[in-house]
Each structure stands twice: as C-alpha cells, then as structure tokens.
C-alpha cells in the first residue's frame, strides 16, 4: 500500500498516518519527524540547515524536500509500501514523486485528504500540547501527559500550548494551508487518486473510515 496522507493542521494526519503504517505494516514517513531527527543529530549538513529553516517557519524548496523524502523512499523498508505525511506539499513535488515511483514501476494507491471544519480544528489545536523535543502530542483535556508539563515519551519538562495553536493564529494557518495546497490537491484530483475522508469524531472512527475507503 503506497499512501499519501494530507490535511490541515489539527486534522490528525500524524496520528492516522501512524495507525495506517502499523495496520498495513509499512513505514510512516513523516517529513516533520525526519527534520526533527536531522536537527537532533546536530550535524551541519545542507539538510540540517534547511531543517532549521523549516523549524523557523520557512518553506523548504521543492529540491530539498524531494531530496530528503526520495532518499527515505529509496531505503529497503519502503520497497513494499509507505505512508507519506508532510510530503509532497506542492504540485511540482507531487510530479517528481510520481516520476520517481514510475521509474520503479510503482504508483500511489491513494491520497487521503482529511476533511475537518474550522471549529473542530480550533477545539483540537487550542487544547493541543506538543513536545518540542520528540514531537509527541497531547490533548490538555482528553489525553494529558501523566505529569503536568512533562512529556511521557521523552521526559522533556516544560510542555505548553504552542503560540501557533492559539485560536486567532489557527484561523490564519488554515487560510494559508488552503491556499498553498489547492494546486497539490487539484493535481491529485485530476488524476483520480484523491480520497476525501471526514476526519471529525474519535481517532478510531476516523481510522475506520480511512480503512473502509482503501479496501473498497
């Protein structure tokens, strides 16, 4: 199964990407996780510099994004399938990815576009606590860390709601997301591989809907 999962901030891409990966026994290739690993490794390669740029909120070039993610796809673990999360982000990246896969006689099975209303995103994100160290996220009310302010996964102390996740910032981010991804989603739609999935409700409900669309 070769999948791309997309969706606005707060749609649950990371969570659903991880679940899909374990369900189909394929790697979950998240550009965000990959960049965090590169930054944590402390090297000063060109990749590490771009990784820091993205961390500062800047967009990475198509060239760098392609080099990073196609490098991951060339690994033996990704030979039988994968879930891509955070890549491709632009129509040119999508075309490069198609070319790369085509060269191996492969193609994407589906692009899952998670759909969620602005109100739901605001509710989710304004209660989201993300660990800046390992990327783990918590919901302040529904799934808080065991010890307030401390990451269950890596022990990082000082967890808090990101400034980016405050309601007024969320509305701006959603607008930017819609504008930036329109050409990408249009590209996949024209190829008939885009599957829109309602991403409201519990994690289990959303996951069941995704799997349902993939097996039919």
Contact 83, 21 (CB under 8 A): yes
In the range 34-53, which residues lie near Zn ion by CB under 5 A? none
Residues facing 132 on adjacent strands: none
Q: Indicate the residue among 33 and 136 with the shorter CB distance to Zn ion.
A: 136
Residue 210: CB atoms within 10 Å: 22
Q: Indicate the residue among 69 and 151 with the shorter CB distance to Zn ion.
A: 151
Q: Which of 89, 107, 182, 191 is catalytic?
A: 89
Q: Which of 2, 19, 124, 128 is catalytic?
A: 128
Token digits for 99? 């070319």
Whether residue 169 lies in the annotated active site: no
- Measured CA to CA, the distance from residue 42 to residue 22 in angstroms comes to 29
**CB-side neighbour CA atoms (13 Å) of 116:** 26
Whether residue 209 lies in the annotated active site: no
Q: Indicate the residue among 34 and 112 with the shorter CB distance to Zn ion.
A: 34
Q: Indicate the residue among 134 and 214 with the shorter CB distance to Zn ion.
A: 134
Q: Taking the complex as a whole, how short is the minimal distance between the CB of residue 32 and Zn ion, in angstroms? A: 14
Count residues near Zn ion (CB under 5 A).
8
In the range 117-176, which residues lie near Zn ion by CB under 5 A? 131, 133-134, 136, 151, 153-154, 156
Whether residue 13 lies in the annotated active site: yes
- Measured CA to CA, the distance from residue 20 to residue 32 in angstroms comes to 17
In the range 71-90, which residues lie near Zn ion by CB under 5 A? none
Whether residue 173 lies in the annotated active site: yes
Reference 23, options 196, 215, 188; nearest CA is 215
Chain centroid offset of residue 133 CA: 17
- Measured CA to CA, the distance from residue 189 to residue 24 in angstroms comes to 24
Which run of H or of E encompasses 118? helix 118-125
Does residue number 91 form part of the binding site for Zn ion (CB under 5 A)?
no
Residues at the contact surface with Zn ion, assessed by CB under 5 A: 131, 133-134, 136, 151, 153-154, 156
* Residues with active-site annotation: 13, 89, 128, 162, 173
């Amino acid at each position: 199964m070769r999948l791309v999962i997309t969706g606005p901030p707060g749609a649950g891409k990371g969570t659903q990407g991880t679940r899909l990966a374990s369900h189909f026994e394929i790697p979950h290739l998240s550009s965000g996780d990959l960049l965090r690993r590169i930054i944590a490794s402390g090297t000063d390669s060109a990749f590490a510099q771009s990784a820091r740029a993205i961390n500062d909120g800047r967009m990475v070039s198509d060239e760098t994004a392609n080099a990073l993610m196609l490098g991951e796809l060339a690994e033996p673990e990704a030979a039988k399938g994968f879930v891509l999360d955070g890549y491709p982000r632009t129509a040119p990246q999508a075309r490069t990815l198609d070319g790369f896969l085509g060269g191996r006689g492969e193609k994407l099975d589906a692009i899952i576009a998670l759909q969620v209303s602005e109100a739901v995103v605001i509710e989710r994100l304004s209660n989201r606590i993300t660990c800046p160290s390992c990327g783990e996220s918590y919901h302040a009310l529904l799934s808080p860390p065991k010890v307030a302010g401390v990451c269950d996964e890596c022990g990082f102390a000082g967890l808090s709601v990101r400034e980016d996740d405050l309601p007024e910032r969320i509305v701006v981010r959603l607008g930017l997301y819609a504008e930036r991804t329109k050409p990408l989603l249009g590209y996949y739609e024209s190829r008939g591989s885009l599957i829109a999935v309602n991403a409201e409700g519990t994690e289990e409900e959303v996951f069941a809907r995704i799997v349902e669309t993939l097996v039919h």
